[in-house]
Amino acid sequence: MIIVNYVVAVLLLVLGLYAVCTQKNLIKVVLGLGIIDYGINLLIVSVGFNDGGTAPIFTISDLLNGISSNFFVDPVPQALTLTSIVIGACVDAMALALVIMIYRKYKTVNADEVRRIRG
Amino acid sequence: MISVQHFPVIAVMGLFLCAFLVEIFGAKNKFIRNTIVLIAAAGAFALIASLIKPVLLNGEIISYWMGNWEPVSGYAIGIGYEIDALNMFFALLVVTTILLAAIYSIKYMARDHHLGHYYTLFLMLSGSVLGLVLTGDIFNMFVMIEIMTFASVALTAFRNNKFGALEAGFKYLIIGSIGSSMTLAGIALLYAQCHTLNMAQISAALTNSLTPTTVLAFALMFAGFGVKSYIVPFHAPAAEAYMTAPTSISMVFSGMVNKAGVYGMIRLVYVIFRAMDLAPLQLILATFGTVTMFIGVTMALAQHDFKRLLAFHSISQIGYVITAIGLGTVLGLEAGLFHAMNHTLFKGLLFLTAGAVLYAAGTTDLDKLGGLSKKMPKTTVCFLIGAFSISGLPPFNGFASKWMIYQATYEKAATTGNFAYAFVTIVALVVSVMTLASFIKVTQAVFFGQLPENLKDVREVPLLMRVPMWIMSVLCVLSGVFYNVVEKYLLTPAANAAFNVTNYIDKMMGDGTAAAAGVTNITVDGATLSLWNPILWLVLFAIVLIAVCIVVLTGENTRGRVLAKTENDSEDGKYATFFGGEKSTHSHVAGSDLFWGFKHDFKGYFKFIQGMHSGVVSDYALWAVVATALIVVLMFVFVH
Amino acid sequence: METITTILTNAFHVLVFPGLLFAAVVGLLLAGLDRKLLARMQRRIGPPLLQPFYDFFKLMGKETIIPHEANRKAFLIAPVLGFVSLIVMMLFIPIFGYSPFSTNADLIVILYLLTIPAVALIVGGSASGSPYAGIGISREMVTMMAYELPLVIVLLTVAKKVGGDELVFSMQKIGDWQAMNGLLISHWSLIPAAIAFLLVIPAEVGTQPFDVAEAETEICEGPLVEYSGAPLAMFKLNTAIKMFVMTALFTFLFLGGIDTGIIALNALIFVAICAVVTVLCMTLIHAITARLKIEHLFKFYWTFVSALAAISLILVWLGL
């Protein structure tokens, strides 16, 4: 249980949320979105950590020879994190594509001016 | 013969596969494209419909492990799909919506370009929502939510030359991503506690062991699914997205996508955490629902755009569903599910008619339309059926489900002695009248009244667009008149499945797991309502006959003479509308001119609430974050 | 054989008593009484008592003119819909111990059915395509939103008072409870609710000071401006029957429980009390007030009348 990981993960999450909620430049908002994702990825990876464990790459024969369960780190959160990283990359790509199109149409990326639909 | 347990996976994978086939083979050729889409939609519908007999009628639960990775020594190691009556209920709604939207899109989108992309995204959206409601694994649910968000955003911004489509897509993406991130954080914390991703196993592991980690996970996932169901205060991007998306997609959004959020919430609260018997949690859900109802309908009364008005009504009706679900009683859950099903039907119908108006007249601005019932009579009839359904007039389906909701809330008030639930009933009834008012406004502004000059050559929409509207109207009427059948075959099994989790757990993890973990069953007997007396109907029909005869046959009949409209008649003739002797001009009472007194009395409130919907993405994100923080605090204080 | 007797009995209930014929005759009589007494209060002679009957039959013989801009089907169906729902509503209100149809949830059915005649008027006005009608229906809808709130609160109060913890919505049980425990109006905690209901009746029926939807001087009869002949006769009949239905509802809910054993005598007493209520809450207020503007009407209902009803609800909820 590495405490620092968890603290930093929560910190990144809060920083990302702060960026999304207060920044006016749309690109900074997308950056904030990315930071939220990285924070959560760090959280997921840290959940699977076992003290003194090694990377979870084994063959069946090694496992059947009776190695204790604390010997390797949990592989499932690593799989979850990989999925989440890919999803984060796609979300960022789509968000940036939308920002580019918004710039072409609205000639600005200031959130206070990109608000034709309101009320 | 393929065993029936493979059907769910085939349905989902089929939709995804056809999504890519459409782009590869159908990018240029219209016929291949339409064929692939219709085969995918119809195939999914047939596969899910064939599951009705085993799951809903016989009460079995179908389970399927991907790659045949069965659980080992009590731990689930594969991704499992599990279909019980609750999944089946939502899956039926999903496939019906997909099929009708596919039929509607063929003609509706015919004037757009890049239709290969459109259908790819449409099939991906469909596949992901179907996967969401069928899966039994919580991370799979998250992945499906993400695919759903993606496809939705791309579809919202599809017509990027339309006013506001891009910014609506962007706001939808930001708020949707915040919601998904909260859900993912919750899943990570749940995994840390239970070391499994299978919902059945988590449910067994969480019996009587709520640690602070799981409470935080619960709160975060609750907020995440709340974002997906668009309850207040997460509702603002939904209002914009429904407005700017192509109408066949708006119908899919309001029919399927927010039901996915509702399904997630039911799964979370009823099955995984089994926390619905805690009184503070019921009050929290009822509060969210009531606020959503009220804000949704009052915002709708102030709108100028047809589709944005419908979007706010969607939000308001989901408020009804969340209130009913939050009551924690059998009648409440059944009422909520029934209203969710009816909402898909009548809101889908209303969006389809809005699409028909947009296709024919080119605008959805309430101030510029008018008198369309003379040119589009069939659309008017469908619209009126949808409008009376949503307002809850008998004998349509909205009446039956709203009645159940009122009965459920007022009974809850009486049995717990808590006055707050009586207040909820009163608000629900007043909101129902305001919904009626809003649709009268749309009827007067769009369909009745005087036709503007520039809309004189509007024609009725093509047949392929009318067929889904007719199908939905018929379903609205049928599910209202035969609500007993709906209750017996659809609602009671689904409510049973939500309250009795033992079968769910046992099927996935092997018999005896639930008992070992100490999960107990609750008896669920069907709720009893008695709305109609059949003999009364017979006599009623007789009265209608007499009354119609009186009205039509007495007096001089001017049928023949009115049909010939000549130039002389239009100005001062006997058949012109009365203007007090002055020359008639185009003086149609349009959308913004109606309900002046109401808007005047609530000036302060409207100024406040419309100012709050400022359109700035950071504001909407701020609401979402504040609401999540509030939910976390509330859960820690009350649920432990 | 059984079904034929049942059908015949139900047909009798629907068509003669207490359905179509009874409701129409008594409704038109009440309307005539209202006009005659109003005239006398204003020191005029006024029309004969049976004037609404003469109006109805005369209108039936006139020509039905449908304007160009109107949607024919909705225009002609609207009065029929209102008529049918009023008759159905009449079947659910017992006449002092005689109730042909009684289910478990009569009050909610009545609440729902009460919206339909107003909606029928609105749809008919909207379908006629006239701008006067457009403004009229807007005002009618706002009036409906205004009086629904106190009406809902009053009905919920009655349900809770009669049922205690169990919530009774059935009219027959309300009648039985009143026969045992005294008239509902004699319980002091329900008097504000009774007053609120009395104030809701003129808005439902559309008499002054709440008839802004049909303001003759401003918008030429509002939704009914393009109607003529048989549909207009039906709308006027609807108004008259609605007068009877609303006063009958008040009489049964708050003054119910009287039962002399003879149906005819019961019916007579019932109609007499309805006439008194009509004079009290409609004619009297009509004679001494002017027409309210729509924003004042809305504010009146959502503040004063709702507060009265809410006081009753809270008192009943506290167990008094």
The answer on pLDDT for B560 being more than 70 is: no
Per-residue confidence band for B563, with pLDDT thresholds at 50, 70 and 90: very low
Q: What is the pLDDT of residue C128?
A: 86
| Mutation for testing the C interface, residue in B416, B431, B435, B448 having most C CBs under 10 Å | B448
Structure tokens at B475: 């379903």
For residue B414, list chain C residues with Cβ-Cβ distance below 8 A.
160, 163, 165-167
Contact B444 C137 (CB under 8 A): yes
The pLDDT, as a whole number, for residue B28 is: 82
Show Cβ contacts of residue C304 under 8 Å, excluding neighbours closer than 6 positions.
none
Concatenate the DSSP letters of all residues of B251-317 into one string. Answer: HHIIIIIHHHHHHHHHIIIIIIS--TT-HHHHHHHHHHHHHHHHHHHHHHHT--BHHHHHHHHHHHH
Report the distance separating Cα C221 and Cα C139, nearest Å. Answer: 12
The beta strands (E) that lie in B161-286 are given as: none
C-alpha distance across the termini of chain A, in Å: 48
Task: Tell me how far CA of residue C114 lies from CA of B163, B344, B533, C209, C243, in angstroms.
Answer: 42, 27, 19, 20, 12
Domain containing A24 equals 3-106
Q: Rounded to the nearest 5 degrees, what angle is found at the Cα of A78, between the Cα atoms of A77 and A83?
A: 95
For residue A37, give the chain B residue with the closest CA. Answer: B181
Asked if pLDDT for residue A40 goes beyond 50, the answer is yes
Show which of residues 35-64 on chain A sit within 8 Å of chain B, judged by CB atoms: 36-37, 40, 43-44, 47
pLDDT of residue B564: 42
Spatial contact of B371 and B448, defined as CB atoms under 8 Å apart:
yes
Mean pLDDT check: name the lowest of B148-162, B236-250, B613-627, C16-30: C16-30
Confidence of residue B567 (pLDDT cuts 50, 70, 90): very low
Q: Could you give phi then psi for residue B616, rounded to 5 degrees?
A: -90, 130
| Residue with more model confidence, B428 or B533 | B428
B495 vs B130, residue with greater confidence: B130
Q: Do chains B and A touch (3 or more CB pairs under 8 A)?
A: yes
Supply the pLDDT for residue C80: 86
pLDDT, tens digit, 9 for 90 and up, residues B511-556: 656 655 555 555 555 555 555 555 566 566 666 777 777 666 665 5
Determine the Cα–Cα distance for residues B132 and B261; give it in Å rounded to an integer.
Answer: 10
Cα gap B9→B15, rounded to integer Å: 10
Is A57 part of any domain? yes
Minimum CA–CA partner of C224 in chain B: B578
Q: Give the pLDDT score at C36.
A: 93
Determine the Cα–Cα distance for residues B86 and B84; give it in Å rounded to an integer.
6
Yes or no: say if B248 and B355 are a contact pair by the CB < 8 Å rule. yes
Residue B638 pLDDT > 90 = no
Its ipTM equals 0.94
> What pLDDT does B293 receive?
94
Residues of chain B contacting residue A98, judged by C-beta atoms under 8 Å apart = 153, 157, 166, 169-170, 173
Residue C174: the pLDDT is 81
- Give me the pLDDT at residue B539, please: 64
- Residue B289 near residue B319 (C-beta atoms within 8 A): yes
Provide the 10 A C-beta neighbour count for residue B57. Answer: 11
Length, in residues, of chain C:
320
C-alpha B558, offset from chain centre: 45
- Number of domains chain A contains: 1
In a domain, A118, yes or no: no
**Can you tell me the mean pLDDT for A24-53?**
90
- Compute CA distances B253 → B46, B243, B344, whole Å: 22, 11, 10
Q: Which residue has the higher pLDDT, B119 or B487?
A: B119
Distance from C-alpha of B402 to C-alpha of B325, rounded to nearest angstrom: 13
% of chain B exceeding 70 in pLDDT: 89
Which 67-86 residues of chain C touch chain B by CB within 8 A?
A: 67-69, 71-72, 74, 76, 79-80, 83-84
Displacement of CA A75 from its chain's centroid (Å): 18
Query: Cβ–Cβ of C67/B577 closer than 8 Å?
Result: yes
**Nearest beta carbon to residue C61 from set B407, B449, B554:** B554
Q: Maximum CA pair distance of chain C?
A: 59
Q: Is the separation of the CB atoms in C225 and C128 below 8 Å? A: yes
C neighbour chains, 3+ CB pairs within 8 Å: B
Contacts of B375 in chain C (CB under 8 A): none
Instruction: Choose the closest CB to B616 out of A40, A80, A112.
Output: A112
pLDDT band with cut points at 50, 70 and 90 for residue B439: very high
Q: What share of chain A is helix, strand, coil (3-state, %, to 5)?
A: 70, 5, 30
Higher pLDDT, B489 or B383: B383
Report pLDDT digits (tens) over B204-238.
Answer: 888 766 788 888 999 999 999 999 989 888 999 99
User: With helix as H, strand as E and coil as C, how does B545-589 read?
Assistant: HHHHHHHHHCCCCCHHHHCCCCHHHHHHCCCCCCCCCCCCCCCCC
Length, in residues, of chain B: 640
Alpha-carbon gap, residue A74 to A48, rounded angstroms:
5
pLDDT along chain C (320 residues), means of 10: 73 73 90 92 91 91 83 85 85 76 75 88 88 88 91 89 76 81 81 91 87 77 86 91 90 80 82 87 88 89 92 85
- Return the half-sphere exposure (C-beta side, CA atoms, 13 A cut-off) of residue B512: 2
Q: What's the CATH number where A20 sits?
A: 1.10.287
CA distance C291 to C311: 27
Tell me the pLDDT tens digit for each residue of B295-333.
999 999 888 899 999 999 999 999 999 999 988 888 889
Cβ B81 vs Cβ B41: under 8 Å: no
- Which residue from B368, B264, B372, B384 is spatially nearest to B318, judged by alpha carbons? B264
What pLDDT, on a 0 to 100 scale, did the predictor assign at position B323?
93
pLDDT class of B163 with cuts at 50, 70, 90: confident
Average per-residue pLDDT for chain B: 85
- pTM of this prediction? 0.92
